Amino acid sequence: MNVLISGGCKNGKSFFAQQLAADLAAGRPLYYIATMIPRDEEDRARIRRHIAERAGWGFTTIEQGKSIASLIGREDVDLSGSFLLDSVTAVLENEMFPVALKDGKAEFLGEDRDAPERVRQELVAFARAAAEAGGSVVFVSDGIYGDSCGYSESTENYRRALAGADRALAAVCDRVTEVTYGITEEWK
């Protein structure tokens, strides 16, 4: 079973997703696909918090901030397991806005306009591969595309790309859940 979980930032999506992925594992391997590539201390603090939250749950962590489809066929990854990919938002950011880390600081390398389609295809391919192997993937995404305010062109491109990735995942997922302030709403 594949599930897309979306909602606002810091609304309990990750904790809900952890519980769901663990339940779906039912004795099979349990993986946490960590997608954030830390760019500053705030990112590092968030990673530490997420590591602490999942301590003792039995997750095997896979650091994979880009190229999600490269997990298909890896010898150390059992696609019949249960995966928590946290988050679609970070994967898209990493691919669309690549950076080079120099002396602990992120240097922006420019916007990759081919990234949205590539990310959509890779996420869908991973979802399908896991489903075909009898596995499950819980995708976490941030619903940042609902604002009515205007942003810069690159931010609007990103918001549209994330909405597109979420729509593509919703089409191949068995469930779509929104988490708002810890309250869940099942949309599919």
Could you report the per-residue pLDDT of 33-55, keeping only the tens digit for each?
A: 999 988 888 888 988 988 888 88
Residue-wise burial string across 105-142, b where 16 or more C-beta atoms lie within 10 A, e elsewhere = ebeeeeeeeebbebbbebbbebbebbbeeebbbbbbbb
Please list the ranges in the chain whose pLDDT falls under 50.
none
Q: Please state the domain extents for the chain.
A: 2-150+160-181
* Residue 148: predicted pLDDT: 67
- CA-to-CA dists, residue 71 to 46, 113, 125, 168, angstroms: 24, 23, 10, 19
Q: Model pTM?
A: 0.91
* Residue 102: predicted pLDDT: 82
* Residue 30: predicted pLDDT: 97
* Residue 149: predicted pLDDT: 75
What is the chain's length? 188
Provide the mean pLDDT of the chain: 91
How would CATH label the architecture of 2-150+160-181?
3-Layer(aba) Sandwich (3.40)
* Residue 17: predicted pLDDT: 93
Other Cβ atoms within 10 Å of 159 Cβ, number: 15
Helices (H) and strands (E) in the chain, counts: 5, 9
